[in-house]
Amino acid sequence: MTKTAWVFPGQGSQKIGMGIDLLDLPAAKAKFKQAKEILGWSITEICETQKEKLSQTLYTQPCLYVVESLLADEMFAHSFQPDIVAGHSLGEYVALYVAGVFDFETGLRLIKKRAELMNNATDGQMAALMGFDQKQLEYELQKTENVVLANDNNSAQVVISGRPEAVETLLNNIKVKRAVKLNVSGAFHSHLMESASIEFKKVLESVEFADAKFPIISNFEPIATIDAATIKKRLTQQMTNGVRWRETSLEMQKEEVEKVIEIGPGKVLTGIIKRTCPDFKLANVNSLKDIKAQVKS
């Protein structure tokens, strides 16, 4: 059988209309209701009509967690299952839910707190860089204070994170084919998230993790594991350290993965994985229609 990885995208992949087709499923409808009780607001209302709110960290993270989790549930309902899982930033929490490390409610409560803390961590900037000289970027990162590599997505795409003036300085000092400043509230995956990370660690320590049913590749240390203690330790480092997605792709290759299915809105992860591992078979599941297409393939 084809060894398959399921991967889950993070903040930035959200889009209006995501998850609305799931409302026809009784199990999904029940979890949307449960989510409303936990959050105090409706995932479906935000996803259906409120584009501005959907782009705000406070709402984006819970919406993505719920929609991606429900899509994964439906994949299981159609007798699919992964051999290995991974998620990009927020998506790592969906991967942990899918692997049975914690249940849906626990994951959503963690994401609710994570979103609140990150939303309050202002005075930061992030920028995506496409087409650059790796050595020049490394040199500028070393000599420029208060800016770090937040996402190492592949050899041609990274994200930097830091204080706005530091990000601006670095952008002025390197040659880059394209730079896009991200619409985020803070400098995620950097030392500027330290206070939020300390608060969140206290929350994580109160949650019991189970060993994973499938190996998980974490953002902080991209080496596959099922050990609960290792998974929790790595997750406590995620908020202040970079997402090592290029290495995640290579770890999947090392684990002899042949097919990668991105579960969630958009095609960001399959796009960046393709550059690192061009021989992978890639598929995307954004909706019920996509799941039915997987059944037929």
Q: Is 212 helix (H, G, I), strand (E, B) or coil?
A: coil
Go through the domains of the chain in sequence order and give each one's CATH number.
Answer: 4-121+190-296 (3.40.366.10), 125-181 (3.30.70.250)
Judge residue 21's burial from the number of C-beta atoms within 10 Å of its C-beta, 0-12 exposed, 13-18 middle, 19 or more buried.
middle
| CB 11 within 8 Å of CB 265 | no
| CB 186 within 8 Å of CB 167 | no
Stated as kind and residue range, the H or E segment containing 73 is: helix 57-77
Answering whether pTM is above 0.85, one says: yes
Beta-carbon contacts of residue 207 (< 8 Å; ≥ 6 apart): 102, 106, 110
- In the chain, the largest separation of any two C-alpha atoms, in whole Å, equals 55
Residues in the chain, pLDDT under 50: none
Question: How far apart are alpha carbons 64 and 70 in whole angstroms?
Answer: 10
Catalytic residues: 89, 189
Residue 229 CA to its chain's centroid (Å): 21
**The predicted structure's pLDDT at residue 293:** 87
